[in-house]
Amino acid sequence: MAQPRDFTNQLLQIKSSSDSLIKNFPAEKLYLQTDKPNYAVGDTLWFKAYLFHAPTLGLSAKSGIMYIDIANDSNKVVKQMRFPVDQELSWGNISLTDFPAGNYNLRAYTEWMLNFGEDCFFYKRFAVIGEKSGIVSIGTLQQSVASKQKEPSDKMISLTETEDSIKVSVSANNQLKTAGESYLLICKARGIICYAAVVNFNGDSAVKRNISKSLFPSGITHFVLTDTRGHHLDEQLIFIDRHDQLHIAIQTNKTGYALRDSVAIHLKVTNKNGNPVKSNFSIAVTDDGQIKIDSLQDNIVSHSWLTSEFKGYLNNPGYYLRKENSVAISNLLSARGAVNYDWPVNIHKPVFRSEKELAVSGRVLNGFNAAVKSTKVILLSKSPFILRDTITDKGGSFSFQNFPRIDTPVFFIKATNRHDKSFNVGIIIDEIKPPDWHSYSLYRSADTTIDTGLVTAAKNNRITKERGYLAPNGHLLREVKITAQKVVKDSKKLNGAGNADLTLDEKDMLKAGKKTLLDILYERIGGFRSAPMVAESLNLRFAVQGKSLNDISAEANLPQLYHSVIFMWYFVVDKPVVFVIDGVTLTSSLNALDLSVPNIDDLTNYLRSINAENVKGIELISSTKYSSAYFDRYILSDWHPYLSYYNFAFIEITTRSGKGPFVATNTPGTYLYKPLAISRPDQFFSAHYPLSDIGKRLPDIRSTIYWNPNINIDEKGEATLSFYTADKPGTYTLVIEGTDFNGNLGYRSGKIIVEQPDQSSKK
């Protein structure tokens, strides 16, 4: 049937709009290579980050800063860090010294990536193993999609792959094939429309096309069928491997190595045509006796082509890239939801910016929440000394940029009028708020195994730390504990300076950075928890319409009763907590315990609203020798008189304002801003053993033997690197990953044999 519209032009318009959106607002994709898949207590995590332009997998120049968050299995963020991205690459290290044994999730993202949703972030699951071997590593998560899946009954697209093309069959039911309408087949890869066609059934039950694979990049392609009004009818996915990843040849200077031997590795990188390519790579060399490297683990190729295109967790992605597992990957694609890099249809400008560098920006608002234009804003930093000023624009906005390197940024910002006087206005700072951490149920596996190698590595880390300051042939002395007490300046603690069971001072708060009070309490106070509280067990009397139950009982000539209520509350071990802020109880301010049932939600919201940067210190008073004064001062007289002070724990919090729970930390017209510091990479320690010094060294028991995040392959496709073996015979695994900057990726693993010298040959 003749159509009233030219649907070919409609497709061209869709393609043009899509290309324009990608050009102006391209998505980003991150990949991180880490030196190891799992870690021991006391380890350091080393990483190399590649920031890709998602549509092409070329490197992206849009963002200059990336974020890394690490959460434990309870979805509590335990570390947040900020790293510079230079020439679309970044590398650094994260100390795991303060991480207890357990399982953790790492995510990496840029502020620009927030526009596309959290599914586009980089995620990595890892374990930290302790010496007691009671903590287990991540087990094998069984894939239920590797077996044959039942085809959905309403499937309209069947896709068949040949050597050089994709056979597409679009089928229709009787209603569609006789309706005489046209349909649109749109094929997208990484958000780019690579192929589109108008489909007319004209009474036939199916329409078939052969589409060349050369139109699509390696990875996942979406085949979408819609009607001409844009209504979605069907979508099928197919994985295409163009076999265009980079080839990495590894040549060593020996077939085997002795202990503390020098290793030289020559790399040769070529493209699919065998031509040398200039590129950038990173390498990790680990001891197989301590670290188990799974050949099916995620890598830069599998992640960029496959893993990053799925929602949730994908176990053993390397399995699906093997040629013999084409059926498994087909079943996987039919069973799993895919990541969408599309912008909302009605988007006109990004919600989140592309962050290039450390910058301070915000707005000045008056008491009516209206913008204050043409007002002076001053920024002051003491270390290093920086003094700058600017004028707000018509929207009340201001911005400061081009800062020198600042290891611990602290900025005092002040808005003044034309007489250089501060006035009653508010300063709102543009800050990126880390998205909530959503748990991925597929990350969790009941099938776990103990990694004995990492148990050994944890022990080795402790030994190395103990010997770290010893001279050759030195002796380790008994541990000396420093007993000097910390002091919180301006604390209103009733017992005087230092008399507390635990003190976190201003240095601890500075180290905590942007963490909330609640996070700090969970991390630093042993036994801090939320738990059910039975009011009767504490002999508390609660009010009902202004009268206690005992008063009501007396009026009714009934025996006295206690109101048994169970509710959630915060505890330190088994003692309920009373929070004291600058000498004022938080519960009295919240009116939570004033003759009414307490509300933990009010406490939680408050503790989450205050960051470490607003606090000078935290002191725990829980033992009997410190808490008597607190009991006399703060426990309500309405509570039963025979309660003893040992029934409670008190947490004294000293704010920077010093004026209680609900007084702003900043005076009008000023703002103390402590952005998350930009972390700089440390130098990986690479051992060097001259022959004359062999007998004088301490044992080398490292699990990561060598780490180099920045290997530049020259125009000939070549690079040479070297390192020394350690003190244990066995095998090492090499993992090499990288890119040619133009969308082509490479991954290769290899082995090195380290042998125990034959002692008999020396006699």
Helix, strand or coil for residue 73?
coil
Q: What is the mean pLDDT of residues 463-492?
A: 64
Q: Would you say 652 and 492 are in contact if contact means Cβ atoms under 8 Å apart? A: yes
Q: pLDDT grade, residue 17 (50/70/90)?
A: confident
Q: What is the mean pLDDT of residues 5-25?
A: 85
Check residue 760 and give its pLDDT: 43
- Position 646 pLDDT exceeds 70: no
Helix (H) or strand (E) holding 167: strand 165-171
Strands 575-581 and 649-655: parallel
> Is the Cα torsion angle 255, 259, 262, 267 positive or negative in sign?
positive
Distance of alpha carbon 242 from alpha carbon 164, whole angstroms? 9
E-strand ranges in 484-564 read: 502-504, 528-534, 543-544, 547-548
Helix, strand or coil for residue 660?
coil
> Is the Cα torsion angle 147, 152, 153, 159 positive or negative in sign?
negative
Check residue 85 and give its pLDDT: 95
Distance of alpha carbon 622 from alpha carbon 261, whole angstroms? 56
Q: What is the mean pLDDT of residues 199-209?
A: 86
Q: Would you say 392 and 364 are in contact if contact means Cβ atoms under 8 Å apart? A: yes
What does the block give as tokens for 625? 């020798």
Check residue 658 and give its pLDDT: 83
- Position 446 pLDDT exceeds 90: no
Residue among 219, 258, 226, 261 at smallest CA distance from 240: 219
Residues 560-588 have pLDDT tens digits of 444 455 678 899 988 888 899 988 888 76
- Residue type present at position 624: T
Check residue 9 and give its pLDDT: 86
Peptide bond into 55 cis (omega under 30): no
Residues 705-714 have pLDDT tens digits of 999 999 999 9
User: For the chain, what is the largest distance between any 2 Cα atoms, rounded to a whole number of angstroms?
Assistant: 102
- Position 20 pLDDT exceeds 80: yes
Check residue 663 and give its pLDDT: 54
How is 584-646 classified by DSSP, letter by letter? EEHHHHHTSSSSS---HHHHHHHHHH-BGGGEEEEEEE-SHHHHHHHHHHHS-TTS-TT--GG
Distance of alpha carbon 517 from alpha carbon 616, whole angstroms? 11
Residue indicated by tokens 């290899």: 750
Which is more confidently placed, 454 or 763?
Answer: 454
Helix, strand or coil for residue 96?
coil
Check residue 492 and give its pLDDT: 87
Distance of alpha carbon 599 from alpha carbon 590, whole angstroms? 9
- Position 133 pLDDT exceeds 90: no
Q: What is the mean pLDDT of residues 448-461?
A: 72
- Position 472 pLDDT exceeds 70: no
Residues 303-321 have pLDDT tens digits of 999 999 887 777 888 888 8
Check residue 110 and give its pLDDT: 95
Check residue 349 and give its pLDDT: 72
Classify residue 483 as exposed, middle or buried by CB count within 10 Å of its CB (0-12, 13-18, 19+): exposed
- Position 759 pLDDT exceeds 60: no
Check residue 93 and give its pLDDT: 96
- Residue type present at position 724: Y
E-strand ranges in 331-448 read: 360-365, 376-381, 386-391, 397-400, 411-416, 426-429
Classify residue 175 as exposed, middle or buried by CB count within 10 Å of its CB (0-12, 13-18, 19+): exposed
Segment among 121-135, 429-443, 612-626, 726-740 with least mean pLDDT: 429-443
Distance of alpha carbon 563 from alpha carbon 561, whole angstroms? 6
> Is the Cα torsion angle 319, 320, 321, 327 positive or negative in sign?
positive
What does the block give as tokens for 549? 């139950």
Helix and strand numbers (H, E) in the chain are 12, 39
Q: What's the gap between Cα 657 and its chain centre?
A: 32
Q: What is the mean pLDDT of residues 130-148?
A: 49
The set of residues, in sequence order, having a beta carbon less than 8 Å from that of 671 and lying 6+ positions away, is 362, 412, 413, 414, 427, 429
**CB < 8 Å & 24+ apart, contacts of 436-441:** 437/69, 437/71, 437/75, 437/77, 437/105, 437/107, 438/75, 438/118, 439/75, 440/105, 440/123, 440/312, 440/313
Which conformational region is residue 717 in: left (phi greater than 0), alpha (psi within -120 to 50 degrees), or beta?
left
Q: How many CB atoms lie within 10 A of CB 301?
A: 24
If you average pLDDT over every residue of the chain, what do you get?
A: 81
Q: pLDDT grade, residue 451 (50/70/90)?
A: low
Segment among 227-231, 481-485, 520-524 with least mean pLDDT: 481-485
What does the block give as tokens for 281? 């790579």
Q: pLDDT grade, residue 269 (50/70/90)?
A: very high
- Residue type present at position 236: Q
Q: What is the mean pLDDT of residues 513-528?
A: 88
The set of residues, in sequence order, having a beta carbon less than 8 Å from that of 538 and lying 6+ positions away, is 576, 639, 643, 647
The set of residues, in sequence order, having a beta carbon less than 8 Å from that of 413 and lying 6+ positions away, is 360, 362, 377, 378, 379, 380, 427, 429, 670, 671, 672, 673
Check residue 138 and give its pLDDT: 45
Residues 344-353 have pLDDT tens digits of 544 567 788 8
Q: Would you say 603 and 477 are in contact if contact means Cβ atoms under 8 Å apart? A: no
Q: How many CB atoms lie within 10 A of CB 762?
A: 6
Distance of alpha carbon 169 from alpha carbon 172, whole angstroms? 10
- Position 119 pLDDT exceeds 90: no
Q: Would you say 239 and 306 are in contact if contact means Cβ atoms under 8 Å apart? A: yes
Check residue 78 and give its pLDDT: 85
